[in-house]
Amino acid sequence: MKAEIHPDYHPVLFRDLASGKVILTRSTATSSKTETWEDGNEYPIIEVEISSESHPFYTGKQRIMDSAGRVERFNQRFKNFGKSSS
């Protein structure tokens, strides 16, 4: 690798806001917020809305949505849209 052309790659904490799980990994991302980890060291922490800890695909808790009902309501609502009223 060439020196001084790559971004800083350092340990970072990621907190899943949906599940509360905190993961220590390495990343080029940074944050002004810091938190002390289990090893006693302080690391930047990045809060994410969803991760593999809380995403329905990974947890197996997928919700089935009533897409047919939504389509019917949409079509009913806009069935006369764009038609001339004369």
CA proximity to 44, closest of 52, 55, 54, 36: 36
pLDDT tens for each residue of 5-21: 988 899 999 998 888 88
What pLDDT was estimated at residue 41?
Answer: 96
Q: Around Cβ 26, how many Cβ atoms within 10 Å?
A: 9
What pLDDT was estimated at residue 25?
Answer: 94
Mean pLDDT of 69-84: 79
Judged on CB neighbours under 10 Å (0-12, 13-18, 19+), 20 is exposed
Mean pLDDT of 51-59: 71
pTM for this prediction: 0.61
Residue 77 confidence class, pLDDT cut points 50, 70, 90:
confident
Which residue type, as a one-letter code, is found at position 18?
A
Which residue type, as a one-letter code, is found at position 84?
S
